């Protein structure tokens, strides 16, 4: 398959799959009742997993401050076509992880251990922001296991500022949650609120409550992993087709990060969701699901032609 290096813009109103919008409370109920929830030991921590649906394996890798339940709406749409798998990142609080000793390689090893546990030979990783780092690391490690990849809000590098490094370094040792960080609610409003305008108010409330309850220490430890990550010199080795999904108004990971990925990856395509920020799995799950289906479907059709 020849995958062009291009950018397409997705208008939510033009997508037929979006004619039936997902309702958060209904998706959460289905996520609890229909999905299979389990715990297994990766060798580094007790990993909580969620599997929903049948078909080709699609692994949703969480972002820096989210748990698997934030993917309920996206999984509710995709589980008709894929075996949707997600899991909790190590937190070092109640799962036995030694988080401050964690490396990028450990995160990739955990992902591979999850696939082994589920007896999955091949999967498509869908890495969200921080999760894009895990996806890239795993795809470099075992390229034969990942025929293609999707990165949403992804990056090959995203160094922190000096002030951010200072705060994250000390916050790794602090108790409490993100809700205790001064002005955090105002920061969320500034960076994310606009993208939620088209959804029912419950989705915004769910996002804020979920984000603010995240423990501070693992968030800071993950932030330092982001600061140390640099995959630029390995992008050329990734020969798999890669889809880069960006939000038109993403204020967390700028378009320059996607530009850098697109320049370095030999076979990449790009989809930009209009009027979207950093969390399309909550603000535009119908559109994101359509993008994922289209990318995997077109790639599979080309391979079988």
Q: Could you read off the pLDDT of 22-53 as tens digits, one per residue?
A: 999 999 999 999 999 999 999 999 999 999 99
Statement: residue 2 has pLDDT above 90 = no
CA distance 17 to 37: 27
Statement: residue 5 has pLDDT above 90 = no
Q: Is residue 114 within 8 Å of 47, Cβ to Cβ?
A: yes
Q: Residue 52 has what pLDDT?
A: 98
Q: Residue 297 has what pLDDT?
A: 86
Q: Phi-psi region for residue 255, left (φ > 0), alpha (ψ -120 to 50) or beta? A: alpha
Longest dimension (CA), the chain: 56
Q: Over the range 45-83, which residues count as b (16 or more CB within 10 Å of their CB) and which as e?
A: bebbbbbbbeeebbbbbbbbbbbbbbbbbbbbbbbebbb
Length of the chain: 305
Six-digit token pair at 91?
């937190």
Rounded (5°) CA angle 192-198-201: 75
Residue of 62, 77, 68 whose CA lies nearest to 23: 77
Rounded average pLDDT over 194-198: 95
Domain parsing of the chain, residue ranges: 7-159+228-304
CATH of 7-159+228-304, one of 3.90.1150.10, 3.30.1490.20, 3.40.50.1820, 3.40.50.920: 3.40.50.1820
Q: Could you read off the pLDDT of 254-304 as tens digits, one per residue?
A: 899 999 999 999 999 999 999 999 999 999 999 999 999 999 987 655 555
Q: Could you read off the pLDDT of 66-87 as tens digits, one per residue?
A: 999 999 999 999 999 999 999 9
Which run of H or E residues covers position 166? helix 162-171
CA distance 19 to 17: 6
| 109: exposed, middle or buried (Cβ count in 10 Å: 0-12, 13-18, 19+) | middle
Work out the angle between the directed axes of helices 201-212 and 24-34 (0-180°, nearest 10): 60
Report the percentage of the chain scoring pLDDT > 90: 89
Determine the 3-state secondary structure of 305 from DSSP.
coil
């Amino acid at each position: 398959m020849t995958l062009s290096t291009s950018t397409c813009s997705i208008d939510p109103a033009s997508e037929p799959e979006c004619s039936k919008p997902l309702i958060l409370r209904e998706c959460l109920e289905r996520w609890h009742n229909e999905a299979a929830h389990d715990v297994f030991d990766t060798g580094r921590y007790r990993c909580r997993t969620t599997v929903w649906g049948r078909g080709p394996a699609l692994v949703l890798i969480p972002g820096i401050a989210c748990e698997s339940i934030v993917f309920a709406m996206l999984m509710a749409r995709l589980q008709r076509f894929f075996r949707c798998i997600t899991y909790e990142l190590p937190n070092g609080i109640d799962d036995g992880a030694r988080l401050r000793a964690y490396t990028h390689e450990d995160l990739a090893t955990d992902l591979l251990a999850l696939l082994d546990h589920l007896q999955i030979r091949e999967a498509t990783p869908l890495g969200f922001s921080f999760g894009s780092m895990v996806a890239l690391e795993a795809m470099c490690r075992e390229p034969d296991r990942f025929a293609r990849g999707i990165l949403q809000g992804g990056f090959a590098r995203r160094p922190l500022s000096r002030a951010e490094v200072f705060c994250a370094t000390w916050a790794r040792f602090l108790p409490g949650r993100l809700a205790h960080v001064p002005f955090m609610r105002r920061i969320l409003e500034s960076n994310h609120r606009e993208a939620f305008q088209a959804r029912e108010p419950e989705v915004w409330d769910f996002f804020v409550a979920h984000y603010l309850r995240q423990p501070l220490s693992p968030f800071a430890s993950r932030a330092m992993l982001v600061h140390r990550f640099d995959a630029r010199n390995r992008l050329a080795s990734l020969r798999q087709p890669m889809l880069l999904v960006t939000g038109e108004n993403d204020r967390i990971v700028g378009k320059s990060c996607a530009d850098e990925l697109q320049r370095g990856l030999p076979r990449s395509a790009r989809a930009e969701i209009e009027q979207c920020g950093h969390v399309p799995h909550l603000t535009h799950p119908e559109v994101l699901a359509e993008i994922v289906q289209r990318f995997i479907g077109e790639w599979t059709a080309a391979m079988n032609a």
